[in-house]
Amino acid sequence: MCTAGLMTAARPSRGTRLVLVCLAAMLAAASAGAQDWPDRPVSVAHGHVTVGGDVTVTVGSGDSGYFNFTDYERSTLRLVRFDAVTTLRANGHVSGVIELRAEGDSAAGNWSADAYAAYLRVQPWTGRNFEVQAGRIPTAFGGFSRRPYGNDNLLIGYPLGYQYLTSLRPDAVPGTADDLVAMRARGWLAYYPVGEQYWTHGVPPMSIFQYDTGVLAKAGIPAARGELSVSVTAGTLSNPGVGDHNGAPQVAARFAAKPVPGMLLGVSVASGAFVAREVRDVLPEDAARQQYRQRAVGADAEISHGYWLVRTELLSSVWRLPALEAPLITEPLRATAWLTEGRYKLAPGLYVAARYDRLLFSDIQSSHGVTTWDADLWRAEAGAGYSLRRNVMLKGSYQYNRRDGGRVKAASLAAAQVLLWF
């Protein structure tokens, strides 16, 4: 998909100029006709191999408050992403999916490439809604996690609970409550004295930008008009990835039902070890024997009728950290995220959308008194989207962010985006 946004500098950087050239070329190709850009995945070998992909280019305002930064240290308002998805079908029961991704900052570059997803999918019974996935997979948790990219995301920004970087790190922990409070509103660059001795970003309540490694099973439940998903993975919601770094798996589950046409209701739970094994190895003996877990619950709902679509979601995550020195961190650290968003179709291919988003943190007692362990914040975002054709979309959005702490407490940001997919 391709994204274009508003720049604050008087003269665009070299990276921005290259992105704008790419954007112009893609728009020209999109208007030239369907033969210049396929509007559906390419199928070869009698349907056994299917290749699809997308390109997204987003150019937006500079975000000096790091409100939109991700765990790849890039802003979602300045992101260029190329995806290629290949599906290999051995037969009606067994297939494999590989998604390769390259992305970078549309202003500064900072490119990376990775296998975002790579898993085997087995459907033992073709007549039943049941399948098993194994490899680098999406977790079973959450509602927005099923629609994070492309035109499924109504706006350009992402919900705070899935994107905003808190000050917590799995590879380093605070020695005291004072250490934690000192990093309040510093999730983009945090340091703690126990564990890895360097400055780096924290983690969101749930990461939408990485898949985890493990096994997922999905089964339809016709009597309840729903589907149950259960996953066992190596990482946690905040820190997915490849390999076992925490010494214990995460178990997550989600049940989603469609009680009536146009309505979807979902509930999710998850629990997994959060603090890395390397950190526990340097803790005192009693503390080293414990598992410090992240536990989360979630609920989501969606209602669509006529030209309207309305969604809401609640995500509550709790982390347990070691209590090492006074002032002790004795209580679990909670983050509660809530969002509501809606879309209204004005005309064929044209819609307007808005989202209101909050992220709240629990209190902690430090030497300086009682305060939240990270800074509460909220975001309001509004925008519009227009489909040039079935697989080409333009988006524009404006968002206002407000935070109870940090060097930058408020920011108004704008962006524009172009998405192409096949």
Contacts of 303 (CB under 8 A, 6+ apart): 262, 263, 264, 309, 310, 311
Helix (H, G, I), strand (E, B) or coil at 386: strand
- Please provide the CATH number assigned to the domain covering 14-421: 2.40.160.10
For 51-99, how does the pLDDT look when each residue is reduced to its tens digit (9 = 90+)?
Answer: 999 999 999 999 999 999 998 889 999 999 999 999 999 998 999 999 9
Task: Kindly state the average pLDDT of the residues 282-307.
Answer: 94
Task: Kindly state the average pLDDT of the residues 341-355.
Answer: 97
For 387-401, how does the pLDDT look when each residue is reduced to its tens digit (9 = 90+)?
Answer: 998 899 999 999 999
What local confidence, expressed as pLDDT, does residue 263 receive? 97
Per-residue tokens: 130: 């049941």
User: CA-CA distance, 308 to 311, in Å (whole number)?
Assistant: 10
Comparing CA positions, the residue from 203, 73, 162, 83 lying closest to residue 341 is 162
Question: What percent of the chain is modeled with pLDDT above 70?
Answer: 90
> Could you state, in order of their start, the residue ranges of all structural domains in the chain?
14-421
User: CA-CA distance, 387 to 308, in Å (whole number)?
Assistant: 17
**How confident is residue 256, by pLDDT bands cut at 50, 70 and 90?**
very high
303, pLDDT greater than 90: yes
Query: What does each C-alpha distance from 183 to 49, 220, 247, 330, 402 come to in angstroms?
Result: 49, 44, 26, 18, 18
Q: What is the pTM of this model?
A: 0.89
DSSP code for 222 = G
**How confident is residue 195, by pLDDT bands cut at 50, 70 and 90?**
very high
Report the chain's mean pLDDT, rounded to a whole number. 89
What local confidence, expressed as pLDDT, does residue 370 receive? 96
DSSP code for 71 = T
**How confident is residue 37, by pLDDT bands cut at 50, 70 and 90?**
low
Question: What percent of the chain is modeled with pLDDT above 90?
Answer: 76
What local confidence, expressed as pLDDT, does residue 38 receive? 64
What local confidence, expressed as pLDDT, does residue 397 receive? 97
From 40-44, 57-61, 127-131, 408-412, the region with the lowest mean pLDDT: 40-44
User: CA-CA distance, 169 to 30, in Å (whole number)?
Assistant: 43
From 7-11, 275-279, 377-381, the region with the lowest mean pLDDT: 7-11
Give the chain's radius of gyration (CA, Å).
22
**Which of 107-111, 244-248, 315-319 is most confident?**
315-319
For 270-291, how does the pLDDT look when each residue is reduced to its tens digit (9 = 90+)?
Answer: 999 999 999 999 999 889 888 8
Task: Kindly state the average pLDDT of the residues 100-120.
Answer: 88
3, pLDDT greater than 70: no
**How confident is residue 25, by pLDDT bands cut at 50, 70 and 90?**
very low
Contacts of 137 (CB under 8 A, 6+ apart): 117, 119, 211, 212, 213, 214, 215, 216, 231, 233
For 147-190, how does the pLDDT look when each residue is reduced to its tens digit (9 = 90+)?
Answer: 877 778 999 999 999 999 999 999 999 999 999 999 999 999 99
**How confident is residue 319, by pLDDT bands cut at 50, 70 and 90?**
very high
